[in-house]
Structure 1
Amino acid sequence: MSYGYGAYKKTAVSTASKEQILLMLYQAAIKNCKKAIEAIEAKQIAKKGEYIGKLQDIVIELNNSLDFEVGGDIAKELSSLYDYILFSSSQANMKIDAEPLHGCLNVLNTLYEGWSEAIKSLKAAPGGTTEEVKK
């Protein structure tokens, strides 16, 4: 990675809103899930483990950031989905099988789309602000 690109990425993250960071995390999780699937299909075992590890790190961070007092049942449901992703990606890693990752990818895409729409709706609402968005 060149210095310029690294500096750009660091600035993009440090100046992003909480909502933008949430979407960036989902995008990165989706990207690593896709790359893990490709690595399994290409029989690149080391790369598979690397991408699944990155995917799991992101999902663990998302899970750790949940606020169960504020989020209530939604936070519990998200935690269950994150547990599913962690379990399925572990199965994919151990069995060198891409199929469980396809389920993870479906969940991640659905969550990303849902959060994107929720954030857009809040911004579009009269007097709306994305500061109200909580995980």
Structure 2
Amino acid sequence: MSIQAYQNNSVETASPGELTLMLYNGCIKFIKVARKSIENKEIEKKNTNIQKAQKIIQELMVTMDQQYAITKEIMPLYDYMNRRLMEANTANDVEILDEVQGLVEEFRDTWKQVILEARKSHYGQGGNA
């Protein structure tokens, strides 16, 4: 099985929670590439990767379930990250990228815990996750 086929299969068989985790990880990856691109003065590559990271943040914003109260707390943070990515892109600022990467990593790590807790409760305390 090729890497592309494996990746396509993992996306097709992933739960919504796992897809969200993939989005966070993708966003972090694009921010890291953008940071390295700034350091290497690869402006086009920086721009492309920051825009990819922004698209992921925007996708997370669009797909948030509005029925949950937590949405009202998370949405401004996503909006903040999106604006900071724009600023980082304009100013070629690696410190802003580091800040946003840290926020995305916090969201990812929290989301991982949510998935683990959901699996525990779904399969019972002694079950396999």
| Same topology, TM > 0.5 | yes
Alpha-carbon displacement from aligned partner over 1:54-110 (angstroms, at most 9, x marks no partner)? 1011110000001112x12x1112111111111100001011111111110110000
**Does residue 120 in structure 1 map to residue 116 in structure 2?**
yes
- The answer to whether residue 126 in structure 2 is matched with residue 111 in structure 1 is no
1:28-107 mapped onto 2 (5 Å cutoff): 28-69=26-67, 71-72=68-69, 74-107=70-103
* Matched-pair identity in %: 34
Q: Secondary structure at the match of 1:125?
A: helix
Within 5 A, what are the aligned runs for 1:6-45? 6-45=4-43
Distance 1:119 1:15 in 2: 15
Give, as a single letter, the amino acid of the residue that structure 2 aligns with 1:31.
K
Structure 2: stretches of 5+ with no match in the other structure = 125-129
1:126 deviates by 6.2
TM superposition score normalised by structure 2 = 0.90
With the length of structure 1 as denominator, give the TM-score of the two structures.
0.86
**Alpha-carbon distance in 1 for matches of 2:23, 2:42:** 24
Q: CA RMSD in A?
A: 1.5
Q: Which SS does the other structure have where 1:58 is aligned?
A: helix
Per-residue displacement from partner, 1:18-77 (whole Å, max 9, x unpaired)? 1110100000001111111111111110110011011011110000001112x12x1112
Query: How many residues align structurally?
Result: 124
Give 1:127 deviation, angstroms.
5.3
Q: Amino acid of the residue matched to residue 81 of structure 1?
A: L
Residue 4 of structure 1 and its aligned partner are, at CA, apart by 2.5
